[in-house]
Amino acid sequence: MKAALYRGAGKAAEVLHVEEVGRPEPGPGEVLVRVYASGVNPTDYKARSGAVPRPIDDFQIPHHDGAGVIEAVGSGVDPGRVGQRVWLYLAAADRRWGTAAEWTAVPERHAVPLPDGVSFEVGASLGVPAMTAHYCLFCDGPVTGQTILVAGGAGAVGHFAIELAKRAGARVVTTVSSSEKAALAEKAGADLVVNYRLPDAVDQVKAFGPIDRVAEVALGANLKLDLAVVKPLATIVTYAAEAADPVLPVRACMSANVTLRFVLLYGMPAAALEQAAADITTALAAGDRIGLPVHKFPLSDIAAAHEAAESGAVGKVIVTP
Ligand SMILES: NC(=O)c1ccc[n+]([C@@H]2O[C@H](COP(=O)([O-])OP(=O)(O)OC[C@H]3O[C@@H](n4cnc5c(N)ncnc54)[C@H](OP(=O)(O)O)[C@@H]3O)[C@@H](O)[C@H]2O)c1
**Could you read off the pLDDT tens digit of each residue along the chain, which spans 321 residues?**
999 999 999 999 999 999 999 999 999 999 999 999 999 999 999 999 999 999 999 999 999 999 999 999 999 999 999 999 999 999 999 999 999 999 999 999 999 999 999 999 999 999 999 999 999 999 999 999 999 999 999 999 999 999 999 999 999 999 999 999 999 999 999 999 999 999 999 999 999 989 999 999 999 999 999 999 999 999 999 999 999 999 999 999 999 999 999 999 999 999 999 999 999 999 999 987 778 899 999 999 999 999 999 999 999 999 999
- The pLDDT, as a whole number, for residue 98 is 98
Question: What's residue 103's pLDDT?
Answer: 98
pLDDT of res. 4: 98
Does the C-beta of 302 come closer than 6 Å to ligand 1?
no
Rounded to a whole number, what is the largest CA-CA distance in the chain? 60
Query: What pLDDT sits at residue 209?
Result: 86
Distance CA 224, CA 151 (A): 13
- Ligand 1 binding pocket includes 240 (Cβ within 6 Å): yes
pLDDT in the model for residue 304: 98
Q: Is 280 helix (H, G, I), strand (E, B) or coil?
A: helix
The Cα 62–Cα 71 span in angstroms is 21
Separation between Cα atoms, residue 109 and residue 96, nearest integer Å: 18
Query: Is 155 a pocket residue for ligand 1 (Cβ < 6 Å)?
Result: yes
pLDDT at 284: 94
- Is the alpha carbon torsion for 119, 318, 149, 51 positive or negative? positive
**pLDDT of amino acid 206:** 97
Burial grade of 111 (CB within 10 A; 0-12, 13-18, 19 or more): buried
In this structure, the residue with its CA closest to atom 11 of ligand 1 is: 240
Residue 17, beta-bridge partner list = 5
**All residues at 6 or more sequence positions from 257 whose CB lies less than 8 Å from its CB, including other chains:** 232, 233
pLDDT at 258: 98
**For atom 25 of ligand 1, which residue has the closest CA?**
152
pLDDT of the residue at 89: 98
Q: How far, in Å, is the centroid of ligand 1 from the Cα of 156?
A: 7
143 lines ligand 1 (CB under 6 A): no
Residue owning the nearest CA to atom 33 of ligand 1:
152
pLDDT at 291: 80
Q: For ligand 1, is residue 73 a contact (CB within 6 Å)?
A: no
